[in-house]
Structure 1
Amino acid sequence: MSAQLHIPGVNDLSNDKTTSFPLNQWYIAALSSEVDQQPLGRTLLNHPVVMFRDSSGDIYAIEDRCCHRSLPLSSGTVEAKGIRCGYHGMLYNGSGQCIEIPGQAMVPAKARVGAYTVQEKDGFIWMWFGSKGNHAPLVDAPSYPIHGDSRYVWGGDVFHYEAPYQLIHDNLLDLSHVGYVHQKTIGGTPSIHMNADMKTTGDDVSVQVVRYMRDSLPPPTYTSAYPFGGKIDRWAEIDFQPTHIKIWTGGVDAGSADLTDPSRGGFHMRGFHGITPETETTSHYIWSIATNPVSDPQGTLASVVAQTKYTFEEDKVVIEDQYQNMLRFKDKPMISIHVDAGANRARRIMEKLRTFDR
């Protein structure tokens, strides 16, 4: 069963009971490593925000706007007590309150900007976006213990997409494209990917897709990181949540392990994909990849991160070209095929979450 995909400019919804993005959710705002000595400005769900750390290293996020003459605060400087505007020097704390105006003793109570709730966990900075009446988080931000697991080393990066966020969901939930798009890295035999043993399950807020590809030729990323003896049995376990997707892929020597065993060995790649809308038509893709090296941890990590980045660059080209062509052919219908089961379930979840409960 297919589902309607909300594509701005193609099938915009005029129903006033819908919003562009699911609210009452934690979204990935940045990698922790992105916010250091300098402020980081980023637009998230149409909200221009600036993130910075105080002298204790705590993270804050406020509107990227000085309330005096509207210069972006992200073009200012970070100090021990907050962030200082680069125009007239007004200093703001982490709650968005101006606490100092150079040359003026009294600071008006109205000299403030909006603030956002953030939580930093496991190398990610999460930001809460609530609906009216739910400005305070309903739950804590998700954890990702893989980043603290001693068996793994990890790295990450950020991409900016000129395409709506749900097209990235589609791409990650349908890995049958891997054999065609990613021949130089994680690809392999296209027919094996298209005919994978696949099971799709889920509930009201999540989708799980499991794919097994036995007796496969190991792709370049795998052979460069792990000493396989010949053909391999591959797996892909995809866990979709409305604001992020976790994907565990890997392989073992063919016939050497039960692919349903959670403690199986072999070569692992555990990907975290934070897909955060910038606007209705642009997106941030904040990702990490973790792997289990058998030797030379830093060399293996560098190779896996570099090849993962190259893989995602290939995806970016496909998705942005796809979106531009959808705009050109916006009156033309799209059909679903067997590999779309996970993506279709995710679309139905997103449609439900985009509806206001009034």
Structure 2
Amino acid sequence: MTTCTDTLVATKANSPFPLDRWYLAALSKELTDKPIARTLLNHPIVLYRALDGQVNALQDRCCHRQLPLSMGTIEEGGLRCGYHGLLFDGQGKCLEVPGQQKVPRKAKVEPYLVIEQDDLVWMWFGSEQGSTPDKAPPSYAYHAHPDYVYDGGMFHYEAPYQLIHDNLLDLSHLGYVHLKTIGGDAKTHMNAEMLVETEGETVTVKRYMPNSTPPPTYIAAYPFKGKIDRWQEIEFCPSHLRIWTGGIDANSEQVTAPNRGGFHMRGLHCITPETEETSHYFWTIATNPKTDIENIKQKVVEQTRFTFNEDKVVIEAQHKSMQHFKGQPMIDIHVDTGANHARKIIKSLCETSS
């Protein structure tokens, strides 16, 4: 775990995003030998891994002539601006101005609080200047679980973050959008038993599809005997979703048992707004192969990436259409229950943050 302490985060009044919480800023594997520029919740930020391994985050500007610090270089001591060479440490303090001995007292940029855990980099966004976290970042044990292997990636969406929430909370679309990977019979998906519960900031959606045909991804990863009993269990939180899906041979055991066997896919989906109209979608997928582990992992990861690309096309087209037909009414159907609960939670949290 690495932290950047004593940080100040400037946040807007009437924020369109829930504040006083952790949002995912990067996957650990993204931070190599170069800084990364990323806008998160309307904040232009530079992320970098210092030579000692610590992850730091600063406002992405040099206080001299405003060149983005993400255009600079990582070196001993911190991050050096690519224009006139000012060197900043992980707290945003300028340590050196080439060509002069004295460093101006006001030569500093704003730092952000980050914590790295589970191969993920979380960033705190408070509702007030100088607010400190009252909770730890979300944990995700399946990145280190001995029964699972995982990988993941990131997509940039030209769409608001809540449209991605809607998509992930309603998996009935699998039978129509994802026929080549995790789909299956559309009628089975639309008629699946669905249980929706809310508690505090969390929405849980559970769907069960007994005696269904395994989709291509499942067949490629696990030696099912024929029909399967399939599950989809979704846990929504404002900054991320955990989705546990999988299948067991039909009638072989209880599909709702906590320790059920069969084929598992445990997805972590962290949707971090870039702006009101664009988003970062960080995802990982963990699976539990018993043999040919690396090969099966690669199949699952590749097909998951293909699946999410299909979703991206649909969601961005949906957003574009909504902009064109702005003001036109939309109806709800039974599969929208979970997404509607999530939207109510987000609305309430944004009002609280204002």
- TM-score band (shorter)? over 0.9
Deviation at 1:50, TM superposition (A): 0.6
The alpha-carbon deviation at position 136 of structure 1 amounts to 1.5
Match of 2:8 in 1: none
Structure 1 SS opposite 2:134? coil
Q: 2:254 aligns with which of 241, 253, 258?
A: 258
Aligned to 1:320: 316
1:355 aligns with 2:354: no
User: 1:37: Cα distance to partner?
Assistant: 1.1
* Paired residues of 1:275 and 1:285 also in contact (CA < 8 A): yes
Tell me the SS of whatever aligns to 1:356: helix
Report if aligned partners of 1:26, 1:126 keep a CA contact under 8 Å in 2: yes
Larger mean Cα displacement after TM superposition, 167-176 or 140-149: 140-149
Letter of the aligned partner of 1:81 in structure 2? G
Partner of 1:9: none
User: Do the aligned residues in 1 keep the contact of 2:18 with 2:353 (CA within 8 Å)?
Assistant: no
Alignment TM-score, normalising by the size of structure 1? 0.94
Between stretches 101-110 and 127-136, larger displacement belongs to 127-136
Contact 1:243–1:276 (8 Å) recurs in 2: yes
Aligned equivalent of 1:53, options 46, 49, 55: 49
Corresponding position of 2:66 = 70
Specify the code of the residue in structure 1 equivalent to 2:60: D
The superposition leaves residues 229-271 of structure 1 with CA deviations (integer Å, 9 ceiling, x where unpaired) of 0010000110000000000000000011111111111000000
Per-residue deviation, 1:53? 1.6
| Match of residue 7 from structure 1 | none
Report the counterpart of residue 206 of structure 2 in structure 1.
210
Once the two structures are TM-superposed, the CA of residue 105 in structure 1 deviates from its matched residue by 0.7
- The aligned amino acid for 1:31 is L
Instruction: Tell me how many residue pairs correspond in the alignment.
Output: 343
1:187 aligns with 2:183: yes
Divergent runs of 4+, >6 A: none
Question: 173-182 vs 325-334, which deviates more?
Answer: 325-334
Instruction: Find 1:310's aligned residue among 306, 313, 320.
Output: 306
Does the residue aligned with 1:303 lie in a helix, a strand or coil? helix
Partner residue in 1 for 2:3: none
| TM alignment of 1:74-153, pairs within 5 A | 74-133=70-129, 135-153=131-149
Contiguous gaps of at least 5 residues in structure 1: 1-15
**Following TM superposition, by how much is the alpha carbon of 1:283 offset from its aligned partner in structure 2, in angstroms?**
0.2
1:228 to 221, 224, 227: 224
Q: CA RMSD in A?
A: 1.2
Instruction: Work out the CA distance in 1 between the residues paired with 2:353 and 2:181.
Output: 44
Amino acid at match of 2:137: A
SS in structure 2 opposite 1:235?
A: strand
CA distance in 1, matches of 2:99, 2:234: 57
Q: 1:164 aligns with which of 160, 175, 178?
A: 160
- Give a deviation string over 1:60-99, Cα, whole Å, max 9, x none: 1001101111111111100121110111111000001111
Give the fraction of aligned pairs with identical amino acids, expressed as a percent. Answer: 58
Cα distance in 2 between the residues matched to 1:95 and 1:354: 29
Shift of 1:18: 3.9
